[in-house]
A = this chain, B = another copy of it.
C-alpha cells in the first residue's frame, strides 16, 4: 500500500507550521516573563494574550476567556447554557464533535439545512414557528466544517433578528476566519450583535493545533460564570503555551504565519477543485473561499461507505458525510485539503475516482 494520503483530518501539514517561529517565541517569552508563564495563572488565561485578543475584537478584557483549545471553550459554554432537553439549533451538516458534545449533554438537537451561503434562515424560521424555543444556535460562519460554506452578510443580519425575536444565543464558532483566500471578510456577528452572541475561536489554525489555545468572547457576566467553572476544572489553562502564543502574536509572526497558511490553502483548494472536476465529474461541490474543507455530494444512491473502504485500501482517507448529520448524508463526504500537498491531492483524487467507480457509484453509473 502506498503512503497514506489523508483528506480526513482538519489539520495543517507540518510544512505550513512556523516551527522556527515557535521556538523563537518560546525562548523570547520565557526570557521576558518567566514568572507569569511558569506560575499558576488564573482561569481567564494568560493576561497579556487575553488583552491582545480583546484589542483585536475591540472588546474589554473582561469579555474574553482564554482556554485550552476552543473545544474546551465549547464544553464550558455548553455546560453553562445547555441543560438536558434544551433545544439547540445546529447546521446540517455540522462538526461531528459538536454534535456529539450536544447529544452527550442531552440536548434536543435541531439540525437546520446549510446552504452555500449559510444556514437556511427560512427553514430556521419554520423550526422556530413550531415553538422549538432554542437556547442556543451553533453556527460556524466562515468556511464551515464540514461544508466549507460561508454565511452571507444578509443571513448574518437575519440570524441576529431571529435571535433577538426568539431569545436565543448565537454561538459563533469561528476557528477558520483568518484563513480566507478569496472574497471579502464579513463582520463577525459578535461585533454586530454582542447582546445575543458568544464567539469562539482558536490559534490551532494560525499557530498550530498542538498549542491548544482557544478563546471565548461574550457578555461579561457569562464570561465570569465560565471563568468560575474553569477555575474549578483546572485552576488555570496552560500559561506556557499561552505565553508562547502571546509572543507569536505580538512579534508579528502570526501575520506571516497566516499568509503562509492562506497561500498554501488557496493552492490546495484550487488543486482539489481542479482534480475533482477532471477525475470525478459526478462530484458536486462549491469552491471554498477559505478554510480547510470541501464538501462533496455524489449522486443519490452512491455508497460512500463502500467508497471509503475502497479508498482506504489504496491509502486514501476521508470522512463520510454520515458523520456530520443525525440521519442521511450517505452520498456525501468531507475532504480536508489542509494537510495534503498539491501532488498528494492530485494522486489522492485519482484514487478517490477509482474507489468511486469500483465501489461507490450507484449501479446505473458504474
| A interface residues with partner B (beta carbon < 8 Å) | 9, 11, 14, 17, 19, 22-23, 26-27, 30-31, 34-41, 68-69, 71-72, 75, 97, 100-101, 104, 204, 208-212, 232-241, 243-244
Contacts and interface: CB of A to CB of B under 8 A. Distances in A.
30 contacts: A9-B40, A14-B35, A14-B38, A17-B34, A17-B38, A19-B34, A23-B30, A26-B26, A36-B210, A37-B210, A38-B209, A38-B211, A40-B209, A68-B237, A69-B235, A69-B236, A71-B233, A71-B235, A72-B233, A75-B232, A75-B233, A97-B232, A97-B235, A101-B232, A210-B236, A211-B240, A212-B236, A212-B239, A238-B240, A238-B241
Given A9-B40, A19-B34, A71-B235, 15 more contacts: A17-B34, A22-B30, A27-B27, A39-B209, A68-B212, A69-B235, A75-B233, A101-B232, A209-B239, A210-B243, A211-B238, A212-B236, A212-B239, A238-B240, A240-B244
A291 B35 CA distance: 21
B238 A68 contact: yes
Contact of A239 (B26, B30, B210): B210
A12 to B, nearest CB: 8
Contacts of A204: 40
A157 B254 CA distance: 55
Contacts of A75: 232-234
A200 B71 CA distance: 24
A100 B229 CA distance: 11
A230 B296 CA distance: 31
A14 B33 CA distance: 11
Contact of A210 (B11, B27, B40): B40
Contacts of A97: 232, 235
Contacts of A71: 233-235
Nearest to A69: B234
A210 B234 contact: no
Contacts of A211: 38, 238-240
Contacts of A237: 68, 212
A145 to B, nearest CB: 13
A40 B202 CA distance: 13
Given A27-B26, A240-B240, A41 B210 contact: yes
A330 to B, nearest CB: 24
A101 B39 CA distance: 22
Nearest to A73: B234
Contacts of A104: 232
Nearest to A31: B23
B232 A100 contact: yes
A37 B40 CA distance: 22
A30 B39 CA distance: 22
A332 to B, nearest CB: 24
By CB atoms of chain B within 10 A, which of A14, A39, A72, A75 has the most? A39
